[in-house]
């Protein structure tokens, strides 16, 4: 579904990604894990068209993604739950959800999609009129995921959905991700919470200083002594 090869990207003269290769097949959940500053967010931004790559090949369902602007990428079926959620804090939950259906192809389906997101997340229906910025961190993450789902994406990108949340809320956010998977979505998730994310994905890539250092099935990485020592504290 998503194929990336030889990806180079950065900011000005600074190169944040060096020759990154990664694939996501339809129906899979794939994680990119790695420490702060590894380039995980940069990778997500390149996939969603927010940052132009310097070199490399990106293809989605066989079609080239390079030089496709962000709103067109949403239309192709990729939605991004950004780092730190990026909700509109002074807009209601429902207004935030509406923002996820801004693409012309999504607008006619707004009411039906909203019902679907509310059925997935009844808590959002209860809070539909509440200002997003006044909700708890976990509820805000639910709203950010709901907003991305409003475009009915084929591929959902999630950038550290558990970051900055209390442990009990982190568990709830990972339960949400599990539900998204059960709904049949293909997911590419970036996480620093390596232990928990490896429990719910099929495969993962380890990104360190802009380079993929290791990749494999979640089970193989959980059993890998280097991963256990560096990321699982075992």
41 counts as binding Mg ion under rule CB under 5 A = yes
Name the binder of 42 from Mg ion, ligand ADP, none, CB < 5-8 A by kind.
ligand ADP
Stretch that binds Mg ion, among 13-21, 32-40, 70-78, 115-123 (CB under 5 A): 32-40
Name the binder of 19 from Mg ion, ligand ADP, none, CB < 5-8 A by kind.
none
Minimum Å gap between C-beta 122 and Mg ion is 30
The 3 state secondary structure assigned to the chain is CEEEEEEEEEECCEEEEEEEEEEECCCCEEEEECCCCCCHHHHHHHHCCCCCCCEEEEEECCEECCCCCHHHHHHHCEEEECCCCCCCCCCEHHHHHHHCCCCCCCHHHHHHHHHHHHHHCHHHHHCCCCEHHHCCHHHHHHHHHHHHHCCCCCEEEEECCCCCCCHHHHHHHHHHHHHHHHCCCEEEEEECCHHHHHCCCCEEEEEECCEEEEEEEHHHHHHCHHHHHHHCCC
Name the binder of 98 from ligand ADP, Mg ion, none, CB < 5-8 A by kind.
none
Minimum Å gap between C-beta 212 and ligand ADP is 13
Residues that bind ligand ADP (CB under 6 A): 11, 14, 16, 34, 36-42
Here's the x/- map for Mg ion, 82-101, by CB under 5 A: it reads as -x------------------
State the number of binding residues for Mg ion (CB under 5 A).
Answer: 3
Binding site for Mg ion (CB under 5 A): 40-41, 83
């Amino acid at each position: 579904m998503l194929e990336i090869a030889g990806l180079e990207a950065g900011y000005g003269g600074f190169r944040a990604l060096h020759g990154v290769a990664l694939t996501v097949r339809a129906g899979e959940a794939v994680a990119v894990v790695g420490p702060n500053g590894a380039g995980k967010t940069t990778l997500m931004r390149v996939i969603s068209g927010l940052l132009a790559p310097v070199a490399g090949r990106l293809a989605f369902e066989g079609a080239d993604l390079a030089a496709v602007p962000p709103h067109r990428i949403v239309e192709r079926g990729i939605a991004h739950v950004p780092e730190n959620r990026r909700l509109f804090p002074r807009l209601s939950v429902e207004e935030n959800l509406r923002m996820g259906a801004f693409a012309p192809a999504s607008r006619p389906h707004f009411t039906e999609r909203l019902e679907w997101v509310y059925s997935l997340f009844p808590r959002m229906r209860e809070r539909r009129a509440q200002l997003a910025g006044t909700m708890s961190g976990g509820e805000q993450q639910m709203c950010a995921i709901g907003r991305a789902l409003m475009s009915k994406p084929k591929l959902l990108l999630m950038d550290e959905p558990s970051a900055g949340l209390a442990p009990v809320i982190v568990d709830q956010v990972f339960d949400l991700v599990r539900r998204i998977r059960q709904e049949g979505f293909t997911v590419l998730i970036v996480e620093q919470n390596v232990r928990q994310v490896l429990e719910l994905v099929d495969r993962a890539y380890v990104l360190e200083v802009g380079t993929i250092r290791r990749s494999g099935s979640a089970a193989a990485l959980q059993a890998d002594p280097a991963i256990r020592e560096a990321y699982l504290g075992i």
